[in-house]
Amino acid sequence: MQIKTIYIAENENMFSDCLTVNLESGDKFEVIGAASNGVTAFNEIREKKPDLVITELNLEALSGINLIRKVKATGLMSKIILLSSVISPLVIHKVLSAGVDGILLKSDQYSMLTEAISVIPKKKFLSPGISDPLVNNFLSLNSDPNSQKISPLSDREEQVAKLIGDGITSKEIAVILSISEKTVSKHRSNIFRKLNIKNTAQLVRYIYDNNLIG
């Protein structure tokens, strides 16, 4: 696979414009679209079928993580690179589980991006700025079935918990899961009661500690 066409999902217009100029400065790449809204980005990606999607985490309406999940779920051949200012262990787990092909930091040199683009058709590319222990931890958790902890949550409650952890609103969760907002609120109450937690920060900690990611 040769990467030629690129779509950029980025909420900082100046950064997106600069990235576009750099990518199109030679004859190798063509940026065929860009958006700061995750829902808009997904719809245009599905229509334009770019070879590569470059996304950040903090998009409007739909997070970068969920954009990755949705693009991969469509069966599109598009490769995806996450480009983030800061990336935590939890986010690394989430985006690798979602199927991202590359992870870069915005502090990396531009040459790192072009290197990633050349590598990802064959294998995943991770910025040297992402420590090996974090990646090794992800790989060990996903290769060892005994590492999976038993959750008191039902399958549906786990789905809702993960979406809450991603910062998705109850209204958006209702649309994603095709249920009512009232049902989402009921699931939220059950989740907090079963886990004996009081806020979303505690829920995110629980998801990470119990490997309920993806």
40 vs 62: CA distance, rounded Å:
9
User: Other CB atoms closer than 10 Å to residue 25's CB: what's the count?
Assistant: 9
Q: List where CATH 3.40.50.2300 sits in the chain.
A: 5-143
What CATH number has the domain spanning 5-143? Answer: 3.40.50.2300
Q: What is the pLDDT, as a whole number, of residue 103?
A: 92
Q: What is the pLDDT, as a whole number, of residue 46?
A: 95
91 vs 85: CA distance, rounded Å:
12
Q: List where CATH 1.10.10.10 sits in the chain.
A: 155-209
145-174: burial string, b at 16+ Cβ within 10 Å, e else: eeeeeebebeeebbbbbbbbbbebebebbb
For 99, the token pair is 């199927």
20 vs 7: CA distance, rounded Å:
9
How many CA atoms does the CB half-sphere of 93 hold within 13 Å? Answer: 23
Q: What is the pLDDT, as a whole number, of residue 212?
A: 60
What CATH number has the domain spanning 155-209? Answer: 1.10.10.10
126 vs 74: CA distance, rounded Å:
24
Q: What is the pLDDT, as a whole number, of residue 135?
A: 55
**Mean pLDDT for each consecutive 10-residue tract of the chain (214 residues)?**
95 94 93 95 96 93 89 92 81 82 92 95 86 53 49 80 80 82 92 87 74 54
Q: What is the pLDDT, as a whole number, of residue 94?
A: 78
